[in-house]
């Protein structure tokens, strides 16, 4: 239970609850939601988040309407996303491996690794807080082991592939493009092992068993976005 000093208003509690439900947020932006039904659905969450003893459905409904009025126009945002996807292309790389390396690698070894693998068929190095993640073409694995040694390899994932989405430079400034694509893949049961962003390239690392399905989904999305863009002249 919150104190009088730090207790949230009903409107703020409603806002925080809605922000944890992206699908609800989308429906509110599109104005295709029944606020009374939604208020009943989230009532228990609002009570817990706000630390209230009780909250009326009508008060929650008012909070929902106020929050909805502050949301941006989803159709405008989606039109920007669709235009970017329509101007994107995709590439496919297969026979990859993902290695997780502990950060105890000497800087000299890391420099040697980058120098030798920079011309590999596929090479992506990502630095985390405690590890490096290395996505490489399968044939380059021996070189990696020869340079850094097996003892620093914390994890290895075989049978991986990569879908590379090449987009216009505007992708850097337009929110929601990657969320749009990853949500679509999630709805179709596709798991993503790694997501790597490199300027205008978005690299999705997936299991080989999922990659063709994912490729077809994204390719179809690009083609439909192009048709939609032409149809609506956006």
pLDDT digits (tens, 9 = 90+) for 65-88: 999 988 866 556 678 888 999 999
Q: What is the mean pLDDT of residues 26-52?
A: 92
Q: What is the mean pLDDT of residues 143-156?
A: 93
Helix (H, G, I), strand (E, B) or coil at 175: coil
Q: Which of 55, 17, 59, 54 is nearest to 36 (CA)?
A: 59
Cα–Cα distance measured from residue 35 to residue 168, given in angstroms and rounded to the nearest whole number: 38
Determine the distance from the C-alpha atom of residue 197 to the mean position of all C-alpha atoms in its chain, rounded to a whole number. Answer: 11
Q: What is the largest CA-CA distance in the chain?
A: 67
Q: What is the mean pLDDT of residues 208-213?
A: 96
Specify the pLDDT at position 31.
85
Q: Are 155 and 100 in contact (CB under 8 A)?
A: yes
Specify the pLDDT at position 4.
41
Q: What is the pTM of this model?
A: 0.77
Q: What percent of the chain is predicted at pLDDT more than 70?
A: 94
The pLDDT tens digits for 1-10 are 444 445 789 9
The pLDDT tens digits for 92-125 are 999 999 999 998 888 888 899 999 898 899 999 9
Cα–Cα distance measured from residue 43 to residue 140, given in angstroms and rounded to the nearest whole number: 55
CATH number of 84-232: 3.30.2130.10
Specify the pLDDT at position 166.
96
Of residues 27 and 215, more confidently modeled: 215
Would you list the DSSP string of 35-96?
Answer: HHHHHHHHHHHHHHHHT-S---HHHHHHHHHHHHHHS--HHHHHHHHHHHHHT-EEEEEEEE
Token pair 């956006």 in the structure block, residue: 234
Domain residue limits, the chain: 10-72, 84-232
Token pair 């659905």 in the structure block, residue: 41
Q: Which two tokens stand for residue 203?
A: 């690299």
Cα–Cα distance measured from residue 81 to residue 119, given in angstroms and rounded to the nearest whole number: 33
Provide the H-helix boundaries in 118-207. 141-148, 177-187
Q: Are 117 and 123 in contact (CB under 8 A)?
A: yes
């Amino acid at each position: 239970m919150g104190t009088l000093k730090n207790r949230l208003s009903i409107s703020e509690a409603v806002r925080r609850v809605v922000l944890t439900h992206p699908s609800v947020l989308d429906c509110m932006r599109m104005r295709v939601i029944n606020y009374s039904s939604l208020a009943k659905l989230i009532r228990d969450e609002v009570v817990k988040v706000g630390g209230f003893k009780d909250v009326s459905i009508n008060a929650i409904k008012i909070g929902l309407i106020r929050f909805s009025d502050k949301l941006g126009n989803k159709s405008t945002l989606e039109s920007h996303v669709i235009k970017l996807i329509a101007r994107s292309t995709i590439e496919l790389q297969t026979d990859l491996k993902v290695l997780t390396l502990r950060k105890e690698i000497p800087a000299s070894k890391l420099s040697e690794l980058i120098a030798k693998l920079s011309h590999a068929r596929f090479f992506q190095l990502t630095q985390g807080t405690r590890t490096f993640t290395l996505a490489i073409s399968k044939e380059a694995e021996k070189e990696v082991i020869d340079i850094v040694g097996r003892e620093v390899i914390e994890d290895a994932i075989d049978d991986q592939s990569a879908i590379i989405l090449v987009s216009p430079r505007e992708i850097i400034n337009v929110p929601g493009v990657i969320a749009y694509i990853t949500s679509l893949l999630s709805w179709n049961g596709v798991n993503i092992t790694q997501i790597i962003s490199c300027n205008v390239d978005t690299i999705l690392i997936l299991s080989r068993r999922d990659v063709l399905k994912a490729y077809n989904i994204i390719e179809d999305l690009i083609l439909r976005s192009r048709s939609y863009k032409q149809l609506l002249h956006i």
